[in-house]
Amino acid sequence: MNFQQLRIIREAARRDYNLTEVANALFTSQSGVSRHIRELEEELGIALFVRYGKRLLGMTEPGKELLVIAERILNDAGNIRKLASAFANRESGRLLVATTHTQARYALPKVVKAFRERFPEVQLELRQGGPEEIVRLLQTGEVDIGISSEQLDRSEGVVAFPYYRWHHNIVVPRGHPLSEEAELSLGALAQWPIITYQAGLTGRARVDEAFAAAGISPQILLTAQDSDVIKTYVELEMGVGILADMAFDPQRDLGLHQLDGSRLFAPHTAWIGLKQGQFQHNFAWQFIQLCNPELALADIQARALHGEPLIDYQI
């Protein structure tokens, strides 16, 4: 048994048992993949895959058990390599952060600036995507840190830490009638076409839940992934926007007016996620603490590596 055989078992499960894709992912040949699988099954004396002819359809029960062990062994091997690298290059390396557009554009710039000043020799890469993709990248170990308001705190194999609290606000063109409302309500808001986030992004579910609880069916005119896109169409007076409070900048958004929506929509928590049990470079722990200084480094490491309970930090 060797690491390449274990990698093939893991990649086969990840890539729906398509051996061509497994071979491409591991930079080898399909015949080599098949040979490694056959040799491992012969060594263990059990069938690891369910087959139809030469095609793999799934995993047998022993195969599923082996997959769990293989994931653990490969993860531990990766941790050993990271441990050696971390001690040899404490102030240099590469940090991969997967996050949503809203976090990358509005929440992270000050953190990134402070991180670059502290670790000038670390290459920082921001990968933007939706919550599901961020979770997948963390679970597979393709990125070091994930940041999102959705899914991270309830995803298998991911340890989540609180980043900050936020809520939705309403954005309208200057002089809009809603600006004159003494106490803004969902009913008054629903009188206008609404421009907001796509389903599954930036707390959109909380917006839908608020209207549903009030028995109101708003007219959703346009949805987008990008807060700037929402503001662009609000400026064109096509409707009123519902977007994250941190996405409004009064110095830049001069043609718009922001209305407080904290009473209308439930608050959110932005989360910082790590792959459970995966060792991180020193600068990765530091990046998390820059996001939320209330988090102690020792507590971050204890929970990420050993599953210890998270202290109830204020955010």
Q: Classify residue 313: in a domain, yes or no.
A: no
- pLDDT at residue number 258: 95
Q: How many domains does the chain have?
A: 3
Domain boundary among 60, 84, 108: 84
Domain with 217 in it: what CATH number? 3.40.190.10
Residue 155 lies in a domain: yes
In tens, the pLDDT along 57-110 reads: 899 998 899 999 888 888 888 777 777 666 545 678 899 999 998 899 999 999
- The pLDDT of residue 84 is 64
Statement to judge: residues 16 and 149 lie in one domain? no
- Residue 311 counted as domain residue: no
Range of the domain at 122: 92-165+268-306
Q: Are residues 79 and 56 in the same domain?
A: yes
% pLDDT > 70, the chain: 94
The answer on 242 and 186 residing in a single domain is: yes
Quick check: is 315 in a domain? no
Task: Tell me if 314 is assigned to some domain.
Answer: no
Provide the percentage of residues in the chain whose pLDDT is more than 90: 55
In terms of domains, do 154 and 298 share one?
yes
CATH number of residue 46's parent domain:
1.10.10.10
Task: Please give the average per-residue pLDDT across 131-146, as a whole number.
Answer: 93
- What band does 277 get if pLDDT is binned at 50, 70 and 90? confident
Q: Which of 24, 57, 84 is the last residue of a domain?
A: 84
The predicted pLDDT at position 256 comes to 96
Q: Please return the burial class of 180, using the count of CB atoms within 10 Å of its CB with bins 0-12, 13-18 and 19+.
A: exposed
Residues 98 and 246 in one domain: no
Write out pLDDT tens, residues 190-247.
Answer: 999 999 999 888 889 999 999 999 999 999 999 998 899 999 999 999 999 999 999 9
Task: For 9-51, write each residue's pLDDT tens digit.
Answer: 899 999 888 989 989 988 889 888 889 998 988 898 889 999 8
Last residue of one domain, picked from the residues 84, 114, 136: 84
pLDDT at 52: 85
139 lies in the same domain as 19: no
